[in-house]
Structure 1
Amino acid sequence: MLKTMNQSFLNGVVSTAVSKKNIYGAVLCVEKGDNSLPLVSSAGNLTADKPYFIASVTKLYVTAVLLKLKSENRLHLQNKISKYLSNDVLHELHLLKGIDYSKEITIKHLMSNTSGIPDYFSSDVIAALTAGKDQSWGFEKTITSAKQKKPKFPPGKRAQYSDTNYQLLGKIIETITEKDIHTVFKEFIFDELKLEETYLFDDVNDTRPAPFFFKDREIHLPKYMSSIGPEGGIVSTAKESMIFLKAFINGHFFPKEYFNELKKWKILFGPGLFFYGVGIASQPISLKEVKGGLIGHWGQTGAFSFYHPKTDLYFTGTINQFYGHSVAAKMMIKIIKMYK
């Protein structure tokens, strides 16, 4: 280790991030596996304890629930989704060249983004939301939109990021548990880990989460954020995200040997360049570590939760900017370099 990691160094890393264009706030929590480094720093318009939208980092929480259900023999990842979803939902959900593959899709296909089901979160939807046109995207609207788009490959043949997959996984969880996704998250994760500032956003009048930015504009999307539950609706803090991340990585919810099945990486070129396994992502941090970088998940709001196995470092936090991921990655890389 070239330097001593301390609060002053971390403060400098976070302050530098906020000096970048269109980055108005940042928070970063860092811990080592042996609990020797519990540090958190914030700058700009964010504080260390401010709740924020973790967006697609929510998918890690969905993965935790699914693998816990698997450990209890309440599901198998190879189960067909037709076991849990109605014919109305499945009908022509994946229609390619006149063949309806919908009933061939498995839970694992959804988790690994290899289902081939189109992503409702298209460029048109993104453009409307980032322009401030708030709108609700519940399950029915998501499925209707996905059916209007053309799949690019049969299930299992390739990987393409699709938020539609996780809306479907949320519905499958509700079917298995006979509880709504809010209750499942609360009982399986939030209460289990005694998280007091973490919850599923469902009230359009809730002003607790920090608003995030798109370039130089503050974005308020309460209708949208309250409608996307299992796809990206969780609100948390950097400290409580850290509690979850360490529990997730260290086998609190499911046997650690399950990780061998999760690390079946397939490259994705959007959003951004990274690898996707089964319910988890891998972000390369250098050409030498193409498949040995950060393990966890990004959120479109600039949120992140990652573990770096080689240095045994954990990172959680947010840049709170729709396109702020490169700045967040640089913060983590600066710290990782100290331990290499």
Structure 2
Amino acid sequence: MIKSINDFNIDDITSNAVSKKNIFGSVICVEKGDGSLSLISSAGNLTVEQPYFIASVTKLYVTAVLLELRAEKQLQLDDKISRYLSDDILHQLHVFKNVDYSNEITIKQLMSNTSGIPDYFSSEVVSELTAGKDQEWGFHRTIAHAKRKTPKFAPGKKAQYSDTNFQLLGKIIEIVTDKDIRTVFKERIFNELSLGNTYLYEDVNDSGPAHLYYKDKKLHLPVYISSIGPEGGIVSTAEDTMIFLKAFFNGRFFPKKDFEELKSWRILFGPGLFYYGVGIASQPISLVELKEGLIGHWGQSGAFAFYHPKTDLYFTGTVNQFVGHRVAAKLMLDIIKTYKKEYKNR
């Protein structure tokens, strides 16, 4: 059994990540499902206790809540969103080739990014944010923007990553529970798992989370992050995220047998190359095992929360860089390779 950080050289691996261009800090938590390995390491300007923006890793929390609500029979994934959302929200939300599909979209199609609803997070928006133009992108602005754009396909026909989907899912959760998304997250996940360092970012004066970087520049986007709750607004630590990730995969929120339903993979080419299922992502780590890589979710902040079934290893952490996903992927891959080598020789 690997018992210590020194046995596993995890500090060397984490420090190597910080040696890469524009990576100023990294933190990673690694655990094995059977409890035989539990390591955490940080380097650069991050510590293991430092809270950070998990960005789109938040989508796993939304998925957990939706599946828990289904287990409670408060909704079904095949329900049409028109059952929950008002006419003013749905009006011309998805019109493709002169056919209005707005009332036909299902919850599952939102979760799987197959709704066809356009993403507001365009290259133009990215350029503005990375240039430091802080701005609000809450529910109403997001939906209005989606209605001005033309969908590229009818619901269910293809897949295209769209943060707009998760803004809508957050609204459905609020309607079903009759509570705001902050309260839902707090009651159903944060308090339930005793996550003392995890919360939904809402106070623009909150300077607690680590500064996010875009290349060599610090980004200060409190207005933006406070406006994107269910899409990417959670702040956490690597240890807290690990507690959640293991709970997510091991039946805490929904029957473990239901997990296979989530692995309806469709390939996406943006942002990056990966597969998307129902509220979860699959990141390939080799060409020969394209659909047997890491399962979980990325965050645009460089945050990650993934499970690797072949080694039974869980990974959480961040490289805190808007364009740092390649470094984060290598960080996890290096640990997988080291783990395999250590155990092969035992």
Would the TM-score normalized by the shorter structure come out above 0.5? yes
Name the SS for the 2:304 alignment partner: strand
Q: Which amino acid aligns with 1:133?
A: K
State the partner residue of 1:255. Answer: 255
State the partner residue of 2:164. Answer: 164
State the partner residue of 2:98. Answer: 98
- The alpha carbon displacement at 1:38 in A equals 1.3
State the partner residue of 1:85. Answer: 85
State the partner residue of 1:7. Answer: 5
Any residues of structure 2 matched to 1:199-214 within 5 Å, and which?
199-214=199-214
- The alpha carbon displacement at 1:338 in A equals 2.8
Name the SS for the 2:41 alignment partner: strand
Q: Which amino acid aligns with 2:52?
A: Y
Q: Which amino acid aligns with 1:107?
A: I
Between Structure 1 and Structure 2, how many residues are aligned? 338
Name the SS for the 1:73 alignment partner: coil
Q: State how far apart, in whole Å, the 1-side matches of 2:269 and 2:295 are.
A: 17
Q: State how far apart, in whole Å, the 2-side matches of 1:305 and 1:264 are.
A: 19
- The alpha carbon displacement at 1:339 in A equals 3.6
Name the SS for the 1:305 alignment partner: strand
Q: State how far apart, in whole Å, the 2-side matches of 1:99 and 1:211 are.
A: 44
State the partner residue of 2:179. Answer: 179
TM-score (structure 1 length as normaliser): 0.98
Asked if 1:297 corresponds to 2:297, the answer is: yes
Q: State how far apart, in whole Å, the 2-side matches of 1:62 and 1:227 are.
A: 16
Q: State how far apart, in whole Å, the 2-side matches of 1:128 and 1:294 are.
A: 31
State the partner residue of 2:343. Answer: none
Q: State how far apart, in whole Å, the 2-side matches of 1:187 and 1:93 are.
A: 31
Q: Which amino acid aligns with 1:249?
A: F
Q: Which amino acid aligns with 2:180?
A: D
Structure 2 segments unaligned to the other structure (5+ residues): 341-346
Q: State how far apart, in whole Å, the 1-side matches of 2:226 and 2:282 are.
A: 27
Any residues of structure 2 matched to 1:1-340 within 5 Å, and which?
6-8=4-6, 9-340=9-340
- The alpha carbon displacement at 1:5 in A equals 7.5
Q: State how far apart, in whole Å, the 2-side matches of 1:19 and 1:263 are.
A: 35
For 1:258-308, what per-residue CA distance to the aligned partner results, in whole angstroms no more than 9, with x for missing partners? 111100000000000000000000000001110000000000000000000
Q: State how far apart, in whole Å, the 2-side matches of 1:35 and 1:219 are.
A: 37
Q: State how far apart, in whole Å, the 1-side matches of 2:253 and 2:333 are.
A: 28
Q: State how far apart, in whole Å, the 2-side matches of 1:228 and 1:336 are.
A: 33
> What is the aligned-residue RMSD (CA, Å)?
0.9
Name the SS for the 2:103 alignment partner: helix
Q: State how far apart, in whole Å, the 2-side matches of 1:244 and 1:118 are.
A: 30
- The alpha carbon displacement at 1:7 in A equals 1.1
Identity of aligned pairs, percent?
Answer: 71
Q: State how far apart, in whole Å, the 2-side matches of 1:193 and 1:21 are.
A: 36
Structure 1 segments unaligned to the other structure (5+ residues): none
Q: Which amino acid aligns with 1:331?
A: L
Q: State how far apart, in whole Å, the 1-side matches of 2:120 and 2:84 are.
A: 21
